[in-house]
Structure 1
Amino acid sequence: MQELDVAADAAPVATPPAAPRVLDIRFTGSGSEYFRIWSVNLLLILVTLGLYLPFAKARRIRYFYANTLVDGQALSFHGDPWKMFRGFVLLVVLMGVYSGAGRLSQLAAFIAFLILCAVWPALWRASMQFRLGNTSWRGLRLRFEGSLQGAYLACAPSYLPAIVMVAGTALMASEGPGAVRGMTPALWLNVVGLLAMMVLMPWSLTLFKRYQHNGYRIAGQHARLKLSVAKVYLLGLKTIGVSLLPMIGAGVLIALFVALGSTMQQSMGRVVSMAALGFGVLLAYLLYFAVVMPYSAARMQNLAWSGTRSEALRFRSTLSFSSLFGLTLKNWLLTGLTLGLYRPFAAIATARLRLQAVSIGCDEDPADWVAAAHAGHADATGDIAGDFFGIDMGL
């Protein structure tokens, strides 16, 4: 018995696993610094009639990346602006062909739209390969490894209703102004397409997010997004409910002014009522975008990033709707008062709020990834499609 007690005392005590290390994200960009970059970019874009746009985008991305610090280490962007220019020209040509086809005939426009749908998922995939393949952290290149088939499957729920709507529009245009009014087949196609797009939009957004996040790679880490369609549909219903608030508020305000106008003389009351109606519609429009867009953006960021993880990484986003709503109102007000000159300051403030709401838990030491990468093969820069096209759609 004594020997058993001694053996039990000598047995190793299990230690609890160490808590994951938190990789904080900080954004150190300055509005005054970015204002200089933004103003020069804007001037060169105007002087070159838009041809400088990809070069301006490369400068903007480099600045934002250089001021995005993950665990104290900044991101880097290595994209070649000339390759981005080649991709920019390709997109301009595609949009020009589609626009020109619409001037020829509705049938040509419909065929051009089908061709655009056929190539767009491949270009979208190439865009993400280019952006991720030219992004590095601690000397490690990120990668995007989403499949081409996955890109087409992610686009399908939004493409099918859009094709139906474009077909309906083309059919309505071919009927001519003298066509019989009513619920024609063309109008039915538009209605069915619009309803289908609204119903399928949350599903489509879920597939987009899954495809994007599931393709993210760095070193040996393979990202996976756990995001259910039901949660996105619930977010859509909540967004619809939130969108009613600006309309109700504007309606109450209009009713008060109309009631006030009824107590005045007829001519003055009519002026007050019309002014109240115009002001109420404008207020509802502004509040709609000031409330709905920050609400959906904050909730979607939290859903997507808090559900993303890899073998050793755990992401968490705590972006507050109230913070984003207040910042959006401030940005809109100051941008309007300064005739647009506050826009770079607004971009910096928004980036800081959204980035610093995200934190990363890491079960490993990223320094080991760097050592393994130097001991093994060189990091990837994206496959040949993304590198050839040089497309960066800001995705």
Structure 2
Amino acid sequence: MHFPEPPPAPAQEFPVEHLNIEFTGSGSEYFRIWIVNMLLLLVTLGLYWPWAKVRRLRYFWGNTLVDGDPLGFHGEAKQMFKGWVLVGVLFGLYNWASNFSAIAGLVAFVALAALWPALWRSSMAFRMGNTSWRGLRFRFVGSLKDAYLAHLPPFLVSLPFVILTLWIPDDPEADFPQWLGYAFLVVLALGVAVLPWLLWRMKAYQHRHYALGPLQTDFRAPLKSFYLLAIKPMLLVLIVIGPFLWLVWSGEGGQKVTEVLFPIIWVVPYLILAFWLFLFLGVGPWITTRMQNLVWTKTGNSQMRFISQLRFRSMLWLSIKNGLLIALTLGLYWPFAKVALARLRLEAVHIRTIADMGALLAADHERPQEAAGEAAGDFFGLDVGL
């Protein structure tokens, strides 16, 4: 007798959990930290910078709550000071070499470019390895090879630009070669064209290699999404500065610009201010909103993902408000603006997960912790920006 096979067992369903992000900092609290940092930076001629940064990071991390529990920052200022000195020495040597001779500047640029991806990766490993949530350290697991590949676009564009500077006449009264001007313009256009590619490679490298316990993120935003995001601001900027570029690179160039601008020279400062406001209060908030929503919503894995719902209207209004109050208070509103901006951007993000975070973290706590050791072993202790 043939018995029918039993139906397959239904796949186990995991409830979807939403982990909200909350920022509890206040402008008045951070103002006290900020003003002390500024005074100590002035007294120490900038040497207090690593200690100031540690105080700032610990305040912002400690007031960032993920599912009700704050982040922690465990980096030491002494370790960061070594990285700060190293980066300062490298840029100082580059500037000295550039002033010494054009060829020496080119050699220094290649040397700095060869070292920079390793320093950038070290910075992210240090920052993540010294950040914790519920007692567990984050990790950054990107390889050194991928860090160099991520920096390939800016190097390919910057190297021809630096090489072209070798042909700039040393005598300021000498005629500037017309072919050199066109060459600079071509390199500049190429740099603008590859900028979205650069951003995509950098963000992909960062967001594919964040890890907490057994979870590691992936990045699923395609390259075309970055070009689509960049089209509007590029067109707007081109419309604004296009006529000026046309005057410079057509006919007698500088003479034609002088003939046009001299009768209305009094308007130039207002035009510069209007252009700055256009970028800061218009294009800037739009790019920030679109970039955050794109990058973080495309970050995650099969068990969890980030969702960013930052609104342009809110970002635009806050940018206008912060800009006006910073100007009216001669800069004293800056810490209040930083806190307001952090709250708006952080609380626009939440985490959607089907994983039992408590069980995952508890299981990982039972294993030997390597993240703190990795961070301590990173002798550079750099923090060149994430």
TM-score (norm 2): 0.88
* 2:380 equivalent in structure 1: 389
| Structure index of larger Rg | 1
Out of 385-394 and 320-329, give the one that drifted further.
385-394
Note closer, same or farther for the CA distance 1:12–1:96 as it changes in structure 2 (3 Å cut): closer
Note closer, same or farther for the CA distance 1:227–1:386 as it changes in structure 2 (3 Å cut): farther
Q: Shift in Å at residue 171 of structure 1?
A: 2.2
Listed as ranges, the matches of 1:1-395 within 5 Å are: 14=10, 17-173=13-169, 176-177=171-172, 179-184=174-179, 186-241=180-235, 243=237, 278-381=269-372, 383=374, 387-395=378-386
* In structure 1, distance between residues paired with 2:352 and 2:141: 23
* In structure 2, distance between residues paired with 1:152 and 1:343: 35
- What fraction of aligned residue pairs are identical, expressed as a percent? 45
**1:230 partner amino acid:** K
Q: Shift in Å at residue 190 of structure 1?
A: 2.0
Asked whether the 8 Å contact 2:139–2:210 carries over to 1, the reply is yes
Q: Deviations 1:31-58 (Å, cap 9, x if unpaired)?
A: 0000000000000011000000011000
Helix, strand or coil at the partner of 1:239: helix
* 1:261 equivalent in structure 2: none
Asked whether the 8 Å contact 1:167–1:189 carries over to 2, the reply is no
Asked whether the 8 Å contact 1:235–1:299 carries over to 2, the reply is yes
Note closer, same or farther for the CA distance 1:225–1:382 as it changes in structure 2 (3 Å cut): farther
Helix, strand or coil at the partner of 1:325: helix
**1:288 partner amino acid:** L
**1:183 partner amino acid:** Q
Helix, strand or coil at the partner of 1:381: helix
* 1:270 equivalent in structure 2: none
Helix, strand or coil at the partner of 1:388: coil
* In structure 1, distance between residues paired with 2:236 and 2:181: 30
TM-score (norm 1): 0.86
Out of 193-202 and 364-373, give the one that drifted further.
364-373
Asked whether the 8 Å contact 2:325–2:333 carries over to 1, the reply is yes
Asked whether the 8 Å contact 1:83–1:387 carries over to 2, the reply is no
Q: Deviations 1:96-154 (Å, cap 9, x if unpaired)?
A: 10111122111111111111100000000000000000000011100001111111111
Helix, strand or coil at the partner of 2:154: helix
Asked whether the 8 Å contact 2:160–2:187 carries over to 1, the reply is yes
Asked whether the 8 Å contact 2:138–2:211 carries over to 1, the reply is yes
RMSD over aligned CA atoms reads 2.6
Asked whether the 8 Å contact 2:130–2:375 carries over to 1, the reply is no
Asked whether the 8 Å contact 2:19–2:67 carries over to 1, the reply is yes
* In structure 2, distance between residues paired with 1:386 and 1:331: 40
Q: Shift in Å at residue 68 of structure 1?
A: 0.1
* In structure 2, distance between residues paired with 1:310 and 1:55: 35
Q: Shift in Å at residue 372 of structure 1?
A: 0.9
Note closer, same or farther for the CA distance 1:173–1:356 as it changes in structure 2 (3 Å cut): farther
Helix, strand or coil at the partner of 1:142: strand
* In structure 2, distance between residues paired with 1:342 and 1:322: 21
Would you say how many aligned residue pairs link Structure 1 and Structure 2? Answer: 364
